[in-house]
Amino acid sequence: MADFTSPYSSLLPSIPDDQTLPQFMFSYKHQTLNRPERSVSVPCTIQDHTGKKVYWEELRQRVQHLAAGLKSRFNLKDEDAVCIFSPNHVDYPVAIWAVHTLGGVVSPSNPAYTAEEFSHQIDVVKPALILTHPACLETVSSSLRSSSVPKTHIALFEPGHASIPFLEQLIEEGKSKVQELIPKSFGPEEGKSKKAFVCFSSGTTGKPKAIALSHYNVIANVLQTLVHWQCNDPKRPSTIMPVGSVIMGVLPFFHIYGLVVSVHFALFAGLTLLVVPKFNFVPFLKSIVSHKVTHLLIVPPQVVLLCKHPAAKDYDLSHLKAILCGAAPLSVELINMLGTMLPNTRIAQGYGATEATGTISAVHDSQWTNVPGSSGQLIPGMSARVVKADGSLAGAGELGELLLAGPNIAMGYTNDEKATRETFIDGWLRTGDEVFLDKYCNVHIVDRLKELIKVKGFQVAPAELEGHLLDHPDVADACVVGIPDDFSGEVPLAFVVLKDVPRQKAETFASEAEQLKRSISQHVEGAKSRYKWLAGGVRFIQEIPKSPSGKILRRLLRDSARASGDSSSARAKSSL
């Protein structure tokens, strides 16, 4: 069979390969693409708790001044890496583009990481600077105790420590230095080989993998999304993302969904981004109303709350024009519940991956919602193959593993040649997802062939948890699987083989068994981020099933858990 390609690929303009992201965001013009024009009265960002608005020219100047300040204070240079370890902040985009202006590489990090988890990122990225928030400073300090990064190479988004500079200081310093600033520029095709981001996404080997994204990758995905949602057609304004829309920026900016769609696409397309540092449901509802938010970019757990939390009925959300859900599949039941609650709001799903720089498929602007059961159409410029179990290519409606090619496919994994060879093959990305595509190139996701567990959009590697469980003094063997959960999408469930003495106690006394389960759960909770906790529980078994080569037959245990109703108990227990 031939490859599947987006029916709108012919509308995609040539993608510039000689521009940095700041040049693209602030200066890009194309003879065949009408970039959405932002009115001077339309702010770029709004700070949620203060209502402070930042407009386009001020945003551009802050980027320039911060770049000059970072150069002066820290002597950042071409290809230096900067870790951003912070919740969402109104200056998060400013920090990103200031680093890029100097030719640096940004590595965004989950601010919920423990010191151990952040230390791994530091070891891989080897940052020249860590930009963090005062609330995260203790974790950063702990991580640096075993690192070669100088303690003086830290800056804060806001004042929080007398001896550590913060952004506003650096911006003020940069104002007097900006005339000396020489922004980074690229030659032809250089944007394809220059890293813009190193984003971390868990792999099945346990440790999070560092995915390298080029400037070209991000620019491509922004333009692909722009064309798919018809934001560039002056004769027919986009119905899904018209200029001036106010988007809720509550998705974490370190995550590829928030980083590319919320920050880069939204600001490029003339939208206003309401920056919310952290998701809390009732304040989230208040912000939607008080800031007249028109578009929500959210994940399934937030949809669950909109549908089921009693507070949702206390707020008039009828002004919402669209709710776009990604990061994990949304059940038909939830779509129907939300549609009943907000009958005049467009509700749609998308599908993406960090290795594809974000969006892979989404509802098209001409559609009110997705084809039932699908995650939308392939975006322009994407080609797909569906490979059946026997290695042959599938046709429309046939199951197989999804492979993708396009200008948004990542450069590969940093410092992991083996994983890069296994995942990026002859220009094609192996997604590990079992899918079928219909004749209109709508992507229907059936299952994940990878072993990753997806909790609220975050990827959890079973091997990472299994390795940690084996450190528990009473555990002889372990296997972790994901089981369905209405709120989180999936949650981890641990199958544990106990050592002989604790096993005998657990088999003899029910209280001993419950105490052991609590001890094992607490062992994880004391070392791992909350979304990695064993919200699905702990289950004792006699033996972990394995293949002759020693590989865990994880799917057997996952199927067993689901067949025995563990998904229901996980939903009851989950407090994430």
Q: Give pLDDT tens digits for 550-574.
A: 567 887 898 888 777 665 344 333 3
| AA letter at 384 | A
Q: Where are the domains of the chain?
A: 56-185, 454-573
- Residue 105 CB partners (closer than 8 Å, separation 6+): 79, 80, 81, 82, 99, 125, 195, 196, 197, 198
Helix axes 566-573, 554-563, angle to 10 degrees: 80
In this predicted structure, what is the pLDDT of residue 210? 95
In this predicted structure, what is the pLDDT of residue 565? 66
In this predicted structure, what is the pLDDT of residue 163? 92
For the domain with range 454-573, which CATH number is right: 3.40.1360.10, 3.30.300.30, 3.40.50.410, 3.30.1120.130? Answer: 3.30.300.30
By three-state DSSP, how is residue 58 classified?
helix
Given a contact cutoff of 8 angstroms between Cβ atoms, the answer to whether 124 and 210 are in contact is yes
In this predicted structure, what is the pLDDT of residue 569? 42
Residue ranges in the chain whose pLDDT is less than 70: 1, 202-206, 234, 448-450, 547-551, 565-576
In this predicted structure, what is the pLDDT of residue 532? 94
Beta strands in 381-438, from DSSP E residues, in sequence order: 383-387, 400-405, 412-413, 424-425, 428-437
- Rounded CA separation 80/67 (Å): 13
In this predicted structure, what is the pLDDT of residue 206? 57
Rounded alpha-carbon distances, angstroms, from residue 348 to 84, 367, 454: 31, 9, 20
Residue 179 dihedral angles phi and psi, to the nearest 5°? -65, -25
Rounded to a whole number of angstroms, the distance between the first and last alpha carbons of the chain is 44
The pair of structure tokens assigned to 59 is: 């945003």
Question: 200 forms bridges with which residues in the sheet?
Answer: 210
Beta strands in 22-127, from DSSP E residues, in sequence order: 45-47, 53-54, 81-85, 105-109
CATH architecture of 56-185: 3-Layer(aba) Sandwich (3.40)
* Cα–Cα nearest to 464, from 146, 209, 122: 209
Residue 485 dihedral angles phi and psi, to the nearest 5°? -145, 125
Given a contact cutoff of 8 angstroms between Cβ atoms, the answer to whether 442 and 376 are in contact is yes
Residue for token pair 């951003």: 84
Residue 483 dihedral angles phi and psi, to the nearest 5°? -125, 150
Q: What share of the chain is helix, strand, coil (3-state, %, to 5)?
A: 35, 25, 40
Q: Rounded to 5 degrees, what angle do the CA atoms 435, 439, 444 make?
A: 25
DSSP result, 99-142: HHHTT-EEEEE-TT--HHHHHHHHHHH--SEEEE-GGGHHHHHH
Rounded alpha-carbon distances, angstroms, from residue 248 to 279, 320, 322, 324: 11, 11, 11, 11
Element (H, E) at 92: helix 92-101
If one counts every other C-beta atom within 10 angstroms of the C-beta of residue 366, the result is: 12
Q: What's 51's DSSP letter? A: -
Q: How many separate helices (H) and strands (E) can be counted in the chain?
A: 18, 27
Q: Give pLDDT tens digits for 103-154.
A: 999 999 999 899 988 999 999 999 999 999 999 999 999 999 888 888 889 9
